[in-house]
Amino acid sequence: KDNNLTVDHTMHGGVTPVMYSSFWDDTNTTQELIKLGADIHKKDEYKLSAMAYAIENNATKAVRLLLDNGVKFEEAEVVRNRLLPPNYNHIKSLQISDDGNFTLIYDTDYPMISIGEPNYFFSYLTNTNMYEIAKMALESDYKPYIWKFQNSTVGLRYGNDIKKVVPEGILNDKAEPTDGFDITEYDFSLYDTFPGTPNYEPILKLLMQYNVGGQPSPEFLKRKYDDCHRNYIYSLDSYYKINYDATYYIPKSEISLITTVYRKYCKDRNSTFKDVYEYTKFASELNEMEAVSIHMYTRDKDGRKLDRPYKDNLKKLDKYIDEIPSDEIKNAIKESYEN
């Protein structure tokens, strides 16, 4: 008002004041701009609206305000990646206390990047665990698209027909795990990033509550379970020893955190993961323990891994490792030879 500017005055890249205030979750300013007649449906040069900007920065109060003023999530289906969530592939360090509790320190813990690649907004919500906004979208009767694909050649695609989303020749749902090429429908679903990020449970349960499509098939779940079970058998077969009284044992120092995960979820050869929640819980715990195992090593001045500190750290985490009974080991060895 003081500078005689219109309420929809455009700044760099076509950004308007209401886009800016929405991004920063400034609902007081956003509300005043709406009262002054701001166009809350307007898009900038990147085709981003105020709703898209609010979603990008997890500005939950602004999203609610815009939603209450008639903005639909369909108007903001493409956003830019702005926040990087914690991820088991991006670990800075591992802290282990004397009582055996561990903490992973992430390289990415929601830092803001200037502007990232375009993304389908609901995929962005699941990638970053934005539970509140995802809940608002589902409660508003928004129906998420099931599949998403993105690369430098075709750009961003999303939709409900996987054949139109994923280029021909990439999908290989019938591959066996041993083929080394196991790209399935699950890899293009809203569920595929959950195993790689901590604190996934609330939003995963939300998607299951609303029966959002893309959940893995029974065949996929069985195949992943069988792969897990084979690893469990292989682990026991690789490290077992036999006592003078013919009992089988594995020294606790030889039982890895990863073997413990396989054993916890996949002992029964005739079972399977019953649903996406059970599979995600296994896969997430496996990724977590793999990250812990990698970062338990310390290195010498030449960068070589030192075995002693690794074993010292593993001993600190002793409470996570169960001793394995003789009969269980014996049965595993029998199964290994049968196969």
Tell me what pLDDT residue 180 has.
Answer: 45
Tell me what pLDDT residue 178 has.
Answer: 42
pTM (predicted TM-score): 0.89
Tell me what pLDDT residue 233 has.
Answer: 96
pLDDT in tens, 275-307: 999 999 999 999 999 999 888 876 666 767 666
The structure tokens listed for 70 are 């008639």
The structure tokens listed for 82 are 């702005």
Q: How confident is the model at residue 261 (pLDDT cuts 50, 70, 90)?
A: very high
> Higher-confidence residue: 252 or 68?
68
Q: How confident is the model at residue 149 (pLDDT cuts 50, 70, 90)?
A: very high
- Whether pLDDT at 34 is above 90: yes
Tell me what pLDDT residue 306 has.
Answer: 64
Tell me what pLDDT residue 53 has.
Answer: 97
> Higher-confidence residue: 156 or 295?
156
Give the CATH fold of the 1-75 domain.
1.25.40
List every span in the chain annotated with CATH 1.25.40.20: 1-75
Contacts of 210 (CB under 8 A, 6+ apart): 138
pLDDT in tens, 195-248: 999 999 999 999 999 999 999 999 999 999 999 999 999 999 998 999 999 999
User: Biggest alpha carbon distance in the chain?
Assistant: 93
Question: Residue 48 and residue 78: Cα distance in Å, rounded?
Answer: 7
Provide, rounded to the nearest whole percent, the portion of the chain with pLDDT above 90.
73
Q: How confident is the model at residue 338 (pLDDT cuts 50, 70, 90)?
A: confident
- Whether pLDDT at 257 is above 60: yes
pLDDT in tens, 164-210: 999 988 876 554 444 445 678 999 999 999 999 999 999 999 999 99
pLDDT in tens, 63-91: 999 999 999 999 999 999 999 999 999 99
